[in-house]
Amino acid sequence: MYEDKEPVYDIETLMRKYGNDVLRTAYMYVKDSHLAEDIFQDVFIKVNQKLETFQGGSSIKTWMIRITINTCKDYLKSAWNQRVMPFTEFQENTMAGEDDFTAVEQQDENRIIRQEVMKLPDKYKDVLLCVYYHDMTISEAAKLLHIAEGTAKSRLSRAKEKLKLCLEGRI
């Protein structure tokens, strides 16, 4: 009879498959590409060290995003971060030329939205990032964040309301 075997994960495959998700999540928290890259490395070191402890209660992606969020929160609470002012990136990469008004306008709107998302309290920002940036369901986000599904729904709704109010005057 056919037996289901647990999937075998190796760090290279995980980095290829989920590396962009980890990096994007880290960037959304720390707002600095260099710090996000450092956190990316820390996350994959932790994943590599703890891979054998992954029990499969959630998807491997969910487990890794949880590690990423926790690593970012630890960094943001650290004494080092409290004393050092992060660098801000003044110019973002774009494929459009400078004369392409529509592309520049869209880039500016995206930057404003990203800034407003980052200003939200963590409990709202976490749900938004899970659902909209990582394409998770409400149920998956709730499991990742260790909250009830109803709580995740209400936080997502409140996050969207707060974001809408903040953006009404800016865009």
Residue 91 forms part of a structural domain? no
Residue 141 burial (10 A CB sphere; 0-12, 13-18, 19+): buried
Structural domain boundaries, residue 163: 103-171
Mark whether 14 and 50 lie in a shared domain.
yes
Say if residues 134 and 25 touch (Cβ distance below 8 Å).
yes
d(CA 39, CA 47): 12
Picking from 59, 69, 75, the residue whose alpha carbon sits closest to that of residue 17 is: 59
Residue 2 forms part of a structural domain? no
The interaxial angle of helices 101-119 and 11-30, nearest 10 deg, is 80
Domain-terminating residue out of 25, 53, 85: 85
Summarised one tens digit per residue, pLDDT across range 23-82 is: 999 998 888 889 899 999 999 999 999 988 888 888 899 999 999 999 998 888 875 555
Domain-terminating residue out of 28, 57, 85: 85
Mark whether 117 and 159 lie in a shared domain.
yes
Q: How many domains does the chain have?
A: 2
Summarised one tens digit per residue, pLDDT across range 98-128 is: 455 566 666 777 777 777 888 888 889 889 8
